Structures are given as structure tokens and as C-alpha cells.
Amino acid sequence: MKIGVLTSGGDCPGLNAVIRGIVRKGIRSHEDTFVGIRDGWRGLLEDDVFDMTMLDVRGLSGRGGTILGTSRTHPYEGGGPERMREVMTAHGIDAIVAIGGEGTLAGASRLVNEEGLNIIGVPKTIDNDLSGTDYTFGFDSAQAIATESIDRLRTTAESHHRCMVIEVMGRNVGWIALHAGMAGGAHAILMPEFPVSFDQIEEWVTSARDRGRAPIVVVAEGFIPEGLDEQVADRGVDNKGRTRLGGIADFLAPKIEEITGIESRATILGHLQRGGSPTAYDRVLSTRLGMAAADLAHNGDWGKMASLKGTDIVSVDMASAVDRLKSVPLQRWEEAQVLFG
């Protein structure tokens, strides 16, 4: 059996470990062969593929990025399913393992169900907002980098008696903010799921200051203060949903300084959170997901993806990963607030 592998969407620590897991497992357990598809769906649509052997995946478990390259090309662009089928036939590719996020998995699911293509998924997002899996790989690396950054910024905050506002990834969900904020000892964590008012933020910040702490505020990029949509809108939002004057932290820091009188500084971690070598946790998870995906592909379980449940790697419908956003539940939000202020 010949299996194509592609990575699609944003870079994510662990992609290379997934690829290695797929190839080693497929070759060793099933004697399958593999082709690498360059830059996600683009490579499949433009016939940009190469034979991928054990040699190509050696030493990949700890390497950041993806050796296959990635892009945001949509599977229904440029020829779409027809063209894919053509390329697959030309190379004798029996199946595709698509490693990607919500868009990729939704597209792949449709390609399976509507077009009858043979596709297996591996869920990928540093945001951890995919349903159908306990955690996604890449999330642990992102929370680790964000936590290390908070640790660093805290020393400056304390030396200068300042408030630090740290913006982490999470356009729709607050998982990175919640975990990194909890790990870093934040005095307020602000997430898209739970809009809070400036009064509330002020209370947390001044309460920390009054206890002699330098207030640390961790905010997910998608957070919007309660009742402030209009004001934010006035500042203008670019086509990626980001405010024109920088991130939300750039908006919050001067606002906090204004209402609390505490000198405040903003830091936007941005792309730092998605690059570099994955954590040990992510390497193990990625490797196991890859190996499971190789089995699913070999068994012809089209439309399935490998996912984490407790300590086990299981198989679920790709559709289940994308039917709803996995946001931070209310109970976790309440749990975390005990640590605020």
C-alpha cells in the first residue's frame, strides 16, 4: 500500500514527530511505502510529491517545524478532488494522511464523505480547540514557551513594580492563556470565552499590587473586554481579526495603567509559541498519533482520525473534531479564579 502524507495549516511543534511515527510504523509493521506531499493540499493539487523513506524521517522526533512544508491552500482550490484523484492515481497513492487543524479536517472529512477519497486525519492545533481529543499535540509546547516567558517577565515586573500584560495565542479559545497563566502564577487570565469588565480587571490588578506583587495579566489574543466591542471596532481590525494597533495587549496595557495608576507594559509572544523543538510530552503524543494513523490508513478506516483519550490513543470520526469548538469549560474558569488577584 502506498500512502501520501501532508501537513496543512499553521506550523506546530510535533509535526515532524507525527510524520516519523507514520513512516516508521507503516514500513515496519505493514511494509507500506510512503510519499511526502509538499506544502499541504498544494502539493497534492500541483503534483509536488517525493518518495519518503526511513532515511527521510531519521532524527525527526525533536525537530520543530515540518519537513513537508505547509500552506493554507484549500483542498477545493485549483482542480479540487478531481485533480487530487488524478495525482494519486498517477503515483499509485492509495491513501492520504492529512495532519491539520479544523479547516484541514473539515475539508478532509468532506473529501471522504462526498468524494470517496481515502483519507485519515491527525488533529493539529497549538490552540487545543479541537473536539474529539483530550489534547492536541503542539499545545504543550506552546504552554511551555508561554510559561517560560511569563517567568522571565515577572522578574522585570517585580524590579520595576510594574504590571505586565502578556498576550498569548488563542483567537477563539483560552486554553494557552489558562494553562500558561496558571503555571506562571498570573493574577488575571483573560479568555475569549469569558468576557470580563474593566472593573473586574482593575480589581484583580490592584488586589495583587496591594499584596505587594507585580501584577501579571495573561490575555488570549481573542479576548475582548466586556462591553467594549464598539471601542475596539473603532480602533480598526485587520482582515485576520487583529486590531490595527497591534494585539489586545497593546490596548490593555495603557488602559490598565490609566485605570489603576500602575505602570504597565505589553508583550505579544506571537510566533514564538509555535516554533522550535517540541516538549517531551508533545514528542510522545505526536509519535503515538502518527503510529496510530499509519494503522488506520493501512486498515482503510477512511474518515477517521487518531486522537488522545486519557492515556490511550483511539480512533474517532474526523467530523467529531470539527463539529464544535472545544472551548474552556465554565468549571475550569471558576477553578482558576481562586488564583487571581
| Grid coordinates belonging to 64 | 520543530
Instruction: Write down how long the chain is.
Output: 341
Stretch that binds a copy of itself, among 20-28, 113-121, 199-207, 298-306 (CB under 8 A): 20-28
Selecting among 11, 127, 129, 140, the annotated active-site residue is 127
Closest CB to a copy of itself among residues 113, 207: 207
Which residue spans within 199-338 are E strands per DSSP?
216-220, 264-268, 304-309, 312-317
Q: Is 127 a catalytic residue?
A: yes
- By CB under 8 A, is residue 287 in contact with a copy of itself? yes
| Grid coordinates belonging to 331 | 468549571
- By CB under 8 A, is residue 151 in contact with a copy of itself? yes
Assess contact for 7 and 19: CB atoms under 8 A. Answer: yes
14 assigned ligand-binding residue: no
| Grid coordinates belonging to 240 | 485576520
In the complex, least distance from residue 146 CB atom to a copy of itself, rounded to whole angstroms: 8
Find the binder of a copy of itself among 32, 140, 167, 221 (CB under 8 A). 140
Closest CB to a copy of itself among residues 268, 321: 268
In the complex, least distance from residue 151 CB atom to a copy of itself, rounded to whole angstroms: 6
- Of 36-95, binders to a copy of itself (CB under 8 A) are 39, 54-55, 58-66, 69-71
Place of cell 487543524: 101
- By CB under 8 A, is residue 106 in contact with a copy of itself? no
Closest by CA position to 23, among listed 99, 84, 132: 99
Closest CB to a copy of itself among residues 99, 108: 99
In the complex, least distance from residue 89 CB atom to a copy of itself, rounded to whole angstroms: 28
First to last CA, the chain: 58
- Of 221-280, binders to a copy of itself (CB under 8 A) are 245-246, 250, 265, 267-268, 270-272, 274-277, 279-280
243 assigned ligand-binding residue: no
- Helix 175-184 to helix 330-337 angle (10° resolution) is 20
Assess contact for 187 and 215: CB atoms under 8 A. Answer: yes
3-state SS assignment for residue 94: coil
Would you give the distance in Å from CA 90 to the centre of its chain?
Answer: 33
Place of cell 488570549: 220
Assess contact for 309 and 285: CB atoms under 8 A. Answer: no
- By CB under 8 A, is residue 24 in contact with a copy of itself? yes
265 assigned ligand-binding residue: yes
332 assigned ligand-binding residue: no
| Grid coordinates belonging to 254 | 495603557
Find the binder of a copy of itself among 233, 300, 309, 330 (CB under 8 A). 309
- Of 182-221, binders to a copy of itself (CB under 8 A) are 182-185, 211, 213
- By CB under 8 A, is residue 333 in contact with a copy of itself? no
Q: Which helix (H) or strand (E) holds 336?
A: helix 330-337
The annotation places the binding site for ATP at 10, 72-73, 101-104
The annotation places the binding site for substrate at 125-127, 162, 169-171, 221, 265, 271-274
Active site residues: 127
